[in-house]
Amino acid sequence: MSDWTPGPEPELGEAEHEPRATPDAAAEAAPDAAAEAAARADAVPAGPAPLEVVRTPTGNADVDAWLQRLADADHLATDGHIEVYEDVHRGLRDALTALDARPGPPAPSGTPGPSYDRS
């Protein structure tokens, strides 16, 4: 249901009397926008830059060598980073596996010792 009733048109306020943008004004603004877009298209993206992340030695020579390999990504474009990251990941995984394979103290045997139950 509507409360609208026919009657005289309401008078326009001050803000509604302001001139609207004309097609000529839009055409004048278009060259500026086109020039701005062309300037952005001509801009050359920045090249690779080192991140200068401090690499703290871990004390494990293998791990430290793989972490140092990450510095190679600093000089590559972004699309070249994945190769370095995968290589380092593979190397760190192998180093971790090698830590698990090192001989350590003998594992406890699964056989029980002598029984103290003398019943």
Tell me the pLDDT tens digit for each residue of 34-53: 777 666 666 666 777 777 77
Looking at residue 47, its pLDDT comes to 75
Residue 15 tokens read as 């803000």
Give me the sign of the Cα torsion angle 73, 79, 82, 87: negative
Looking at residue 20, its pLDDT comes to 62
Mean pLDDT, consecutive 10-residue segments, the chain of 119 residues? 66 58 59 70 71 85 91 86 94 90 72 66
Looking at residue 87, its pLDDT comes to 96
Looking at residue 27, its pLDDT comes to 56
Looking at residue 73, its pLDDT comes to 87
Model confidence, pTM: 0.46
b/e code 64-100 from CB counts within 10 Å (16+ = b): eebbeebeebeeeeeeeeeebeeebeebeeebeeeee
**C-beta separation of 56 from 63 below 8 A:** no
Looking at residue 15, its pLDDT comes to 55
